Structure 1
Amino acid sequence: MEADQLLDEIRDINLAYLLLAKQMLREDRVSAMYRLGINQDIAEILDKLTSAQLVKMAASNMLLCRFRFDDRLIAQMLSNDTREQSVTKSHAAILMAGKPAEAIV
């Protein structure tokens, strides 16, 4: 993949992520914060972004979203295709809920 194409893909992902995050925050702030893994400060910043600020932020060459899991157990639980999928995904959600939301440093 060419470098310019990769940057375009990152920008597209960033824009989609930011638009989704804003929509989720408008619909159900508490649930959105939990699902996005963000704290109140980040939620307020995202919620207040104008369209121009959102597009400018999305144009970054850095991926703004990230995986919320950093261990093998959760990755396996989320990717495992079993008949007990609802229980497995619930267990993974409980484990991820125990991880603190990201803070602005």
Structure 2
Amino acid sequence: MNAEQILTEIREANLSYLMLAQSLIRTDREQALYRLGISDETALLINTLSPAQMMKIASGNTLLCRFRMDDDLVWGLLTSHGKTAANESVSRLHASILMAGRHQEAA
């Protein structure tokens, strides 16, 4: 598997995860919180994402899901609510750095 294939797989996994999470939240919120290991605030955010926002978030090269991901700061940075285009790039970079740091802490 080459690098481009890996990135494609990550993007597909990201979109699948977001779609699954949103579906679970809309079907049974309490069960979704338990199964996904997310907070109420995170569930509210995921529930309100538009399809375009989900596609945009999923298109990154970092895997979004992890075991019991519950980081409201990262979600806020990725959705860039109320940010200008210039600030959006900085927010996405900041989110990537935070997620990489979480990976190091878990290792």
2:4 aligns to what SS in structure 1? helix
Equivalent pair of 1:41/1:103 in contact (CA under 8 Å): no
| Correspondence for 1:15 | 15
Question: Share of identical aligned residues, percent?
Answer: 48
Q: Following the alignment from structure 1 to structure 2, what is the Cα–Cα distance between the partners of residues 45 and 59?
A: 18
1:42 and 2:42 matched: yes
The structure with the largest alpha-carbon Rg is 1
- Structure 1 unaligned segments of length 5 or more: list them: 69-100
Q: Following the alignment from structure 1 to structure 2, what is the Cα–Cα distance between the partners of residues 61 and 103?
A: 18
| Correspondence for 2:27 | 27
How many residues of Structure 1 are paired with residues of Structure 2 in the alignment?
73
Cα deviation code 1:32-79 (max 9, x no counterpart): 0110000011101100000000010111111011134xxxxxxxxxxx
TM-score by length of 1: 0.65
Higher relative contact order (CA 8 A, sep 6+): 1
1:61 aligns to what SS in structure 2? coil
Q: Following the alignment from structure 1 to structure 2, what is the Cα–Cα distance between the partners of residues 56 and 4?
A: 18
1:5 and 2:13 matched: no
1:64 aligns to what SS in structure 2? coil
- Structure 2 unaligned segments of length 5 or more: list them: 74-107
Structural RMSD (CA)? 1.3
* Within-5 A mapping of 1:24-103: 24-68=24-68, 102-103=70-71
- Bigger helix fraction: 2
1:104 and 2:68 matched: no
Q: Following the alignment from structure 1 to structure 2, what is the Cα–Cα distance between the partners of residues 45 and 51?
A: 13
